[in-house]
Chain A
Amino acid sequence: QVQLQESGPRLVKPSQTLSLTCNVSGDSISSGDSYWSWIRQHPGKGLEWVGYVYNSGHTYYNPSLKSRVDISIDTSKNQFSLRLTSVTAADTAVYYCARELDYALGYWGQGILVTVSS
């Protein structure tokens, strides 16, 4: 059974970099041609796609975040990561990692609330 778990600092200061890791169990991140995604949800709001990475390393980012986002994959640790630079209060959100299933987001982590505040 595929399980994903987000980890990282829950409090980040403005202008700093948000860094999160998604640990994957029950599946090899390097198998097949799946994509691995980050999605966020501002408090009380809808879902926003941040970006995704294929196990080849090819990435696709939300154009509104592209200049600040980097998603990478580490097959040796079976995990993938999100870095979001120059954060502001507007980046306060629950961040989810997810794995593809038949081109949809079939498996989700439980989410991690990251607050940007001094």
Chain B
Amino acid sequence: KAGVTQTPRYLIKTRGQQVTLSCSPISGHRSVSWYQQTPGQGLQFLFEYFSETQRNKGNFPGRFSGRQFSNSRSEMNVSTLELGDSALYLCASGLIQGGTDTQYFGPGTRLTVL
């Protein structure tokens, strides 16, 4: 079975721009979660989608948004980028909602905001 894929792997943007990141979960998985990882804050939960509905949301500003499609693929969008948005963005998929079971992570998208 193919693992979780994330595109693009690397991205460089400038302040004020917007960015869209994509995540394809493992086939059959209906839950997709997004995390932001920075050296200072560690792994911070952004949001989780399950069957196209946002089920949980972390403590991030409204500039961060996401969605999930009927094939379970997910996108997250960050508008009006700030320098502090530079991070590794990780996507994880699971069979069921929440952290009850194993989460399978993708390789991440490294976003650099200049």
| A and B interact physically | no
Chain B interface residues toward A at CB < 8 A: none
Chain A interface residues toward B at CB < 8 A: none
